[in-house]
């Protein structure tokens, strides 16, 4: 990755922040996008102080023009684009029957359309460099999770989009990777939307007992290097993939019971 130009969305915290340090640590020039300008500036300056190269732009990926400007920033600053990592995303925690439809729309705008907008704007440059486009998905993009209808829907949509993109580009040299982390210690659960669209504010999980964002970033880095098409992390995630193929009804029961045990679960 030395000298490669890597764009990362959702780069102000969690997996995105860890990806910024992971790729910069291997000599990549990173361009960071997120809504939190203060955090982006701090991360970018820290990477520079460590001898790396970084740029940033305040970006709301649900805004097509913001995505365009992020891509142009990378091109103007470093002259090319080699990797785009679509990581920005938000989650939810509410029963569909209780959720305001604006919550579902917000998740689709950020998670799905953010991926589509950034990929569309970056594609000409990625085709030129025979580079990589990555989508950071979730086990929720493999198995629908109760209480996360909008989140799972957005991740399933990304899966279909990326798979189609990969097949379209079999002869162009474009590398397309779907990354499926399991539950990861990050800010996404704290900022998850509840039924009325407000933020949950507190994670229902014991963050210290799940995979770190740094571990996820290291796995994604290796998958980009090896130009893998898919990457499923954690034993729980791999088991979910297996069971979803052969034991669907049993998996439904397991998932329901597991999610119902969360503190403050919206269903029992």
**Distance (Å, whole) CA 140 – CA 134:** 17
pLDDT at 249: 75
- DSSP per residue, 149-172: HHHHHHHHHHHHHHHHHHHHTTTT
Decide if 131 contacts 177 (C-beta within 8 A): no
Q: What is the pLDDT along the chain (268 residues), one digit of tens a residue?
A: 999 999 999 999 999 999 999 999 999 999 999 999 999 999 999 999 999 999 999 999 999 999 999 999 999 999 999 999 999 999 998 989 999 999 999 999 999 999 999 999 999 999 999 999 999 998 888 888 888 999 999 999 999 999 999 999 999 999 999 999 976 555 554 568 887 777 765 544 444 456 899 999 999 999 999 999 999 987 676 666 666 666 667 666 776 777 677 667 676 6
Tokens of 33: 């996008």
pLDDT at 208: 45
Point out which residues pair with 176 in neighbouring strands.
Answer: 133
| Active-site position among 56, 117, 151, 180 | 151
pLDDT at 43: 98
Point out which residues pair with 30 in neighbouring strands.
Answer: 6, 54
Report the chain's terminal Cα–Cα distance, integer Å.
Answer: 47
Tokens of 226: 């090896």
Which residues make Cβ contacts (< 8 Å) with residue 218, sequence separation at least 6?
22
| Domains of the chain with CATH codes | 5-238 (3.40.50.720)
**Beta pairing class for 5-9 and 175-180:** unpaired
Active site residue 151: yes
Point out which residues pair with 123 in neighbouring strands.
Answer: none
For residue 16, what are the CA distances in angstroms to 9, 103, 245? 7, 23, 30
pLDDT at 194: 86
Which of 55, 46, 39 shows the shortest CA–CA distance to 21? 46
For 248, list phi and psi in degrees, rounded to 5. Answer: -60, -50
pLDDT at 200: 63
Q: Taking phi first (over 0 means left), then psi (-120 to 50 degrees means alpha), and beta for anything else, what does residue 111 get?
A: alpha
pLDDT at 126: 98
**Distance (Å, whole) CA 66 – CA 243:** 40
Tokens 């300008």 label which residue?
A: 37
Tokens of 188: 């996404």
**Distance (Å, whole) CA 175 – CA 96:** 35
pLDDT at 233: 85
């Amino acid at each position: 990755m030395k000298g490669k130009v890597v764009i990362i969305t959702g780069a102000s915290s969690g997996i995105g922040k860890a990806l910024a340090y992971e790729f910069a640590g291997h000599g990549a020039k990173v361009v960071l996008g997120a809504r939190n300008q203060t955090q982006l500036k701090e991360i970018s300056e820290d990477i520079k102080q460590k001898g790396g190269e970084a740029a940033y732009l305040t970006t709301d990926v649900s805004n097509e023009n913001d995505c365009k400007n992020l891509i142009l920033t990378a091109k103007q600053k470093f002259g090319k684009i080699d990797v785009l990592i679509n990581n920005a995303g938000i989650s939810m925690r509410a029963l569909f029957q209780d959720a305001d439809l604006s919550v579902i729309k917000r998740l689709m705008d950020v998670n799905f359309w953010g991926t589509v907008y950034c990929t569309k704007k970056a594609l000409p440059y990625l085709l030129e460099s025979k580079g990589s486009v990555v989508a950071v998905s979730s086990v929720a993009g493999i198995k629908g999770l109760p209480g996360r209808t909008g989140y799972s829907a957005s991740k399933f949509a990304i899966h279909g989009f990326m798979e189609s993109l990969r097949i379209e580009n079999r002869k162009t040299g474009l590398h397309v990777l779907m990354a499926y982390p399991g539950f990861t210690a990050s800010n996404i659960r704290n900022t998850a939307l509840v039924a009325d669209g407000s933020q949950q504010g507190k994670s229902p999980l014991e963050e210290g007992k799940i995979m770190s964002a740094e571990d996820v970033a290291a796995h994604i880095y290796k998958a980009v290097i090896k130009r893998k098409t898919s990457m499923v992390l954690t034993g729980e995630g791999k088991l979910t993939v297996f069971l979803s193929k052969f034991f669907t009804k049993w998996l439904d029961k397991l998932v329901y019971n597991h999610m119902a045990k969360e503190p403050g679960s919206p269903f029992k």
